[in-house]
Structure 1
Amino acid sequence: MAIIAFFCLPAYGHTNPTLEVVRELTKRNHQVVYFSFSPFQQRIEEAGARFINCDAELPMDKAGAMAANSDVGGSIKLLTDTTLALDKKICETLQALRPDCIVADSMAVWGKFAALKLGIPLISSTTTFAFNRYSAKIMKQSFGQLFSLIRSMPQIRRQIRRLREHGYPVKNLLSILQNDDQTCTIVYTSREFQPYAETFSERIQFVGPSLRQISTKAADVRTAVYISLGTVNNQHPDFFQNCVEALRDYPGEVIMAVGTENQAAALEAPAHFTIRPQVDQLEVLQKAALFLTHGGMNSVNEGLYAEVPLILYPQTAEQGGVARRVVQLNAGILLDENSPAAIRRAVNQVLANPVLKENAAAISRSFRQAGGAVRAAQLIEGWIQEKKN
C-alpha cells in the first residue's frame, strides 16, 4: 500500500478529473490524502480520500479570484501568496505523513513546490493541455496580452524571490507554468487531441478524460441544445438572454445551466426551455445534439466524450486555445459574436453539418482508448515503484 498526497486548484474543472483517479487508487488499497477546500470536501471524501481542509490559509474569495484570474502577473502573485500561506501546514503535515509521492495539479504550485522542497517524488496532474513552447502557439496571445506579460515581469521576479527566500527551488516563470519533460505527468486528454503531442517526452502520459460512470445511455435521436458557460466566468446575463431569443422557436428542448439562482430567475423563456443554475452535465449530454460552451477543458472533454459537436464561446485565453483545437479538428465552430442572430446561425450550421458529429465521435474514440482513471492509477503505481527501485 502506498500513501499518496493530492493537491489541486480550488476549481471544479481541475478537481473533478482527479476524483475517479482517487477512487481507483483507494479501490487498490492505497491511502490518499487530499489537500483542498471545503466546497470540494464531500466529493473528495466520497471518492475515498482523507480530506485536509486548507480554507483558513486561502479564503474562498481569493480561491475564486485565482480560478478566474487571466492576468499572468496577478496569477503568479496569488499562487505565491497561497504557497507561502500554506507552507507551514503543508510541510508539517507531509513530514508527519511521509507520502510515497505527491500528485499535484499543474497550477496548484504549492503542492509541486512542497515536493521539491521536501524531496518527495512529484507527479504532475494536468487538466488542461500539456504546456510547452510548441503547444503554447495554440494560445495565440494578443499584442495586449503579450504587453501585459512584459509589464508584469518585475512583479513575477519579485514573487520568485519570495519563494526562493522560503526554500522553494524556483528557477523562472516557465518552471512554474510549463510541463517539465523530466517530471512524471498525467494529462487528461488523448495524444490525438493534445496539440503538438509529439514534442513531449514519454514522461508525459495522455490518459484521456477521467469521468465518473453514469447509468443514462445516449438517446437514439438527440435533439436537445445544451448551453453552459461553466462554473467560473458565467456571469453573462446578456448572453443567456440572447440564447433565449435565438432559440425561442427551436423545435426541440433547450437546456441552459446559467450558474446562479438569480441569473436563472431573471430569464423568461418558452416552455421548451429548462433553465437551472447547474445541471448534471454528463447526463444532459446524452441527449444533446450540440453543446454551446465556453470552451473550458473539462466541458470540452465531456462534450466530445459524449460525441457531441460544439459551438465555442471562449472567455479566457486558455479557453480560446482549447476552442481553436476543436475547430482545427473540425469537431465544432466558434461563435463569432454574442447576438441572437449569430447564435441562431451557429446552431443551424452545426445541426446541418454531420461531419462535425463524426469528428467529435472520432475524438471520443481516442479518449476512450487512452485508458482514463484506470490508466492514470496504473501509471502512478508504476512511477512510485520506479522511485523505490
Structure 2
Amino acid sequence: MTHFGIICPPVTGHLNPMIALGYELKQRGHSVSLLGWEQHREMVEATGIHFVPILSPRQAPQPDQKITSSRRMRLRHKLHRLKQRLQPVDHQAYTQSNGISALRIALAAYQHWSAIALRAAPAVIKAKGIDVLLVSETSYGGSTVAEYMGIPFITICVGIPRHQSSAVPPYMTSWPYQLALWARIRNRLTYAWLDILQRRILRLLNRYRRDWNLVPYTTLTDSASPLASLACLPKAFDFPVSLPHNFYFTGPYINDICRKPVTFPFDQLSDKPLIYASTGTLSNQASVYRCIAAACDGLDIQLVISLGGKGRDVALSNLPGNPLVVDYAPQIELLKRASLVITHAGLNTILESLAQGVPMVAIPGVLDQPGAAARLERSGAGKFIALKQLNAKRLRKLIQEVLQDPTYKDQARQAQAVIQQSGGVKHAAAIIEDVLDLAHISV
C-alpha cells in the first residue's frame, strides 16, 4: 500500500474535496497524510486522515543534505527577501475587494502558501515516509517539492482547470465560449496579462528549482504532473477544449463523512419552496445578503442564508422578509430540500447543487467563480449576475425566471445524472491507483 501526502491551500473550497479524496484512498487500504495548518487539524483527523502540521518558513527545518552549505545560505537570503515583501493573505481585505484587487490578494496568498510548502514540506515528507503527493493545482510549490524529493505526484484540480487554450476564456472571466478570431485574441492577451500577475510566484518557484538543480519553469502550467491531472469538474460541464491524454474529468469529490456536523433548526423550516443562499467569500457581505433578502421578500418561498462562519464579521439585522440566517448550515441536507440555490459560484457549491438536481442563480465574485458561473449558464441549469450589476430588482427577476421555468430544473436533473455516472471520488481514486501501477510505482 502507498503512503499519500496531500498538499493544498488552507481554505475550505480546497480542503473539502481533497479530504474526500484522501478518505476514499484510506478506505482502499492506503495511508494518507494531509500537510496543513494547525487550525484544520480537527476536521482532518475526524476522517481518520493523519494530520501533519506545516510550519511557517521561519520555524521550518532545513531540507535534507542534498543542498550544500553555500546553496543553503543563498536560499536563506532569498527567502528573507521574499518574506520582507510577502505577508499572509489578508482575509478582511480580500472579502472587501473584488475584480483585479481580490485576484492580486489571492495570488499573493498562493505565493505565501507555496513559500511555506517549499521551505517546510521536504523535511516533513522525508520524516513521514510519504511515497506519492496529491497536489492541488494552485499549490504551485507542491510539484517542485515532489521533484526535489524524487517522488511522483498527481495534480488535482478542485476548481476550474487552469488550461490556457485560446478557445477557452480565462478562468477568472465570465466570458462565454466563442470561437471567433476576436475572442481567441482577447483570451490570449488576457492569459498574457495573467502571466504577468503571476510572475512573482514563478520567480519563487524557479529560485528553488535552480538551487535544487531542477529545470526552471517557463509558466505555472509547467507545474502540472506528467503522470496525471484529475479535475472535479464533469467533462460535460466544461467548455470544449483539447486536453493532454493524461487529463481526466472525474466528477466532484463529495463525502458527507468528511463534513463537520452542524446544528441547524430544522423545525423552523416550512412547507414552502426553499431557497438556500450561501455566498462564500463574496465582497461587501452585508450588502449582498440584504440584496438577496430584498429580492426574495414577498415571494412564496422560505429563504435560508448561511453566513459560512462569518457571523461575527457581518452585522445583519431586520432583513427584509425575515429569512432564517445561520452562521453555518448542513449544506448537503439543505440542498436535498432546496428548490433553488443562490451561490457565489464556488465550484464546490455548484457541483454539490447539481449533484442534487437543484438549479441556481449565481453571483460570482473572484478567482474562478466567474468562469464557473459562465459554465453554469451554458449548461442551462442556472443564470448568473455580475456583482457590479447586482441589485434586488435584477436578482428577483432571475430568481423568478429560474423558479418558474421548468427548463432550468430539467437541465439541473440532467447534470445530476451526468455527475452520478461520472464516478466522482471513487473514479478518481481508481485512476490514481491505475496511473501509479502503469508507471510501475508500487501501490
Which range, TM-score by smaller chain?
0.7 to 0.9
Q: 1:254/1:55 Cα in 2 relative to 1: closer, same or farther (>3 Å)?
A: farther
1:171 to 217, 226, 236: 217
Which residue number corresponds to residue 133 of structure 2? Answer: 102
CA shift for structure 1 position 183: 3.5
Which residue number corresponds to residue 257 of structure 1? Answer: 306
CA shift for structure 1 position 292: 1.0
Which residue number corresponds to residue 282 of structure 2? Answer: 233
**Which TM-score applies when normalising by structure 2?**
0.76
CA shift for structure 1 position 14: 0.9
Instruction: Work out the CA distance in 1 between the residues paired with 2:384 and 2:305.
Output: 18
Bigger Rg over Cα? 2
**1:109-124 mapped onto 2 (5 Å cutoff):** 109-124=140-155
Q: 1:13/1:132 Cα in 2 relative to 1: closer, same or farther (>3 Å)?
A: same
Moved more, 6-15 or 256-265: 256-265
Q: Secondary structure at the match of 1:137?
A: coil
Which residue number corresponds to residue 84 of structure 2? Answer: none
Q: 1:148/1:171 Cα in 2 relative to 1: closer, same or farther (>3 Å)?
A: closer
Q: 1:64/1:127 Cα in 2 relative to 1: closer, same or farther (>3 Å)?
A: farther
CA shift for structure 1 position 302: 0.9
Which residue number corresponds to residue 207 of structure 1? Answer: 250
Instruction: Work out the CA distance in 1 between the residues paired with 2:244 and 2:272.
Output: 40
Q: Which runs of 4+ in 1 moved over 6 A?
A: 66-69, 142-147
Which residue number corresponds to residue 86 of structure 1? Answer: 117
CA shift for structure 1 position 196: 2.2
Deviations 1:244-283 (A, max 9, x none): 2222222221001124224665231367611112211111
Q: 1:38 aligned to 2:38? A: yes
Instruction: Work out the CA distance in 1 between the residues paired with 2:19 and 2:36.
Output: 12
Give % identity.
Answer: 19
Letter of the 1:318 partner, please give it. Answer: D
Deviations 1:71-97 (A, max 9, x none): 666655544443333334311122233
Q: 1:326/1:157 Cα in 2 relative to 1: closer, same or farther (>3 Å)?
A: closer
**Which TM-score applies when normalising by structure 1?**
0.86
2:227 to 183, 188, 210: 183
Instruction: Work out the CA distance in 1 between the residues paired with 2:243 and 2:191.
Output: 25
Q: 1:137 aligned to 2:169? A: yes
Instruction: Work out the CA distance in 2 between the residues paired with 1:145 and 1:322.
Output: 17
Instruction: Work out the CA distance in 2 between the residues paired with 1:53 and 1:67.
Output: 25
Instruction: Work out the CA distance in 2 between the residues paired with 1:272 and 1:381.
Output: 50
Instruction: Work out the CA distance in 2 between the residues paired with 1:5 and 1:250.
Output: 48
Name the count of aligned residue pairs. 380
Q: Is the 8 A contact 2:364 2:370 kept in 1?
A: yes
Structure 1: stretches of 5+ with no match in the other structure: none
Deviations 1:104-144 (A, max 9, x none): 10111222221122221111111012232237425475989
Q: 1:26 aligned to 2:69? A: no
**1:292-371 mapped onto 2 (5 Å cutoff):** 292-335=342-385, 337-371=389-423
Instruction: Work out the CA distance in 1 between the residues paired with 2:209 and 2:158.
Output: 27
Q: Is the 8 A contact 1:312 1:335 kept in 2?
A: yes
Q: CA RMSD in A?
A: 3.2
